[in-house]
């Protein structure tokens, strides 16, 4: 009878402690007891919490915890695994070598960006003189641009007899820069045909196409450098602007030839040779234009336009 009664008590206790642990039981044992029915041996341990605590926390003589004495500790869930970070394979020296390129790339100094004006002036320059081909036009007012290019070629020792893109072209160096001396042979009104083709072929932007032309609106032998502008009624400049997509952003040197004093038509006037009185002044203007071209190449367009000369 007593045995039957004790079993009922034990059964009641098991049901009572199925989902909660008795006070005083060690934490690992409590967790294990809350997850499954209590066995008889565990119930006895739970009824005597002092013995249970001593069992789960007892240490051996050498100081290590005696976890094998407690069945509840054996049923504890395994600790969570830590996620391992990927590491470069190989010995430590190889791992260091893997990270070295990133460090070297970060330590590499970045080049300072060049100003827009400086980048625009670097590269090949086209020095274009406007005029009409043929010996019968050599000394005419409309061919003063050809005169400047011929003098540049003479001083630099550049041969301008090669025919390329409908122009007489000479390749060489002036003031430490690569230049193409250009004389279109398409006649004045179609000068843009060869200039645009050469600029496209050699990838020269408008800012490095320096054009030398005559100007009716300036006194004879007056020289002026402009960084950009319209054609001003000049058919050669008009053709270049049209062929370069309407861009007027190319520098030009204008040499004054004056206007006719009488009723002479402009077309006839520009195709006449310079008079004997005008010729010495025109020779000076040609030399001045050569100096301006060299100043543009050596000092830059802005400084040359402000009046600085080499």
Residue that the structure tokens 């394979």 belong to: 89
Q: 3-class DSSP state for residue 199?
A: helix
Please check whether residue 255 is in contact with residue 221, taking contact to mean a CB–CB distance below 8 angstroms: yes
Dump strand ranges (E) for the chain.
Answer: 125-129, 162-163, 167-174, 177-184, 209-215, 223-226, 252-256
Mode of pairing for the β-strands spanning 223-226 and 177-184:
unpaired
231 carries an active-site annotation:
no
Q: 3-class DSSP state for residue 5?
A: helix
Q: How far is CA 275 from CA 67, 74, 227, 269, in A?
A: 121, 120, 30, 11
CA–CA distance, 299 with 286 (Å, rounded to integer): 20
Identified catalytic residue from 141, 142, 254, 294 = 142
Instruction: Please list the active-site residues.
Output: 142
């Amino acid at each position: 009878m007593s045995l039957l009664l004790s079993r009922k008590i034990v059964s009641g206790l098991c049901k009572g402690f199925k989902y909660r642990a008795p006070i005083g039981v060690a934490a690992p044992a409590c967790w294990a007891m809350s997850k499954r029915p209590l066995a008889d041996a565990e119930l006895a341990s739970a009824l005597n919490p002092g013995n249970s605590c001593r069992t789960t926390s007892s240490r051996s003589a050498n100081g290590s915890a005696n976890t094998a004495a407690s069945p509840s500790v054996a049923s504890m869930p395994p600790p969570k695994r830590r996620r391992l970070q990927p590491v470069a394979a190989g010995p430590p020296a190889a791992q260091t070598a893997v990270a070295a390129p990133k460090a070297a790339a970060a330590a590499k100094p970045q080049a300072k960006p060049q100003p827009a004006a400086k980048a625009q002036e670097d590269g090949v320059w086209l020095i274009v003189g406007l005029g009409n081909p043929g010996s019968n036009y050599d000394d005419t007012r409309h061919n003063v641009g050809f005169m400047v290019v011929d003098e540049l070629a003479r001083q630099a020792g550049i041969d301008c007899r090669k025919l390329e893109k409908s122009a007489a072209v000479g390749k060489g160096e002036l003031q430490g820069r690569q230049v193409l001396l250009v004389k279109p042979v398409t006649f004045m009104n179609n000068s843009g045909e060869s200039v645009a083709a050469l600029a496209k072929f050699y990838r020269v932007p408008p800012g490095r196409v320096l054009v030398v032309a005559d100007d009716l609106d300036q006194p004879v032998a007056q020289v002026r450098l402009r960084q950009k502008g319209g054609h001003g009624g000049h058919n050669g400049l008009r053709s270049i602007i049209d062929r370069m997509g309407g861009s007027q952003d190319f520098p030009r040197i204008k040499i004054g030839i004056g206007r006719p004093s009488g009723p002479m038509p402009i077309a006839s006037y520009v195709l006449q040779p310079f008079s004997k009185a005008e010729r010495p002044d025109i020779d000076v203007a040609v030399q001045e234009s050569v100096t301006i071209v060299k100043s543009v190449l050596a000092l830059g367009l802005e400084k040359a336009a402000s009046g600085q000369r080499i």
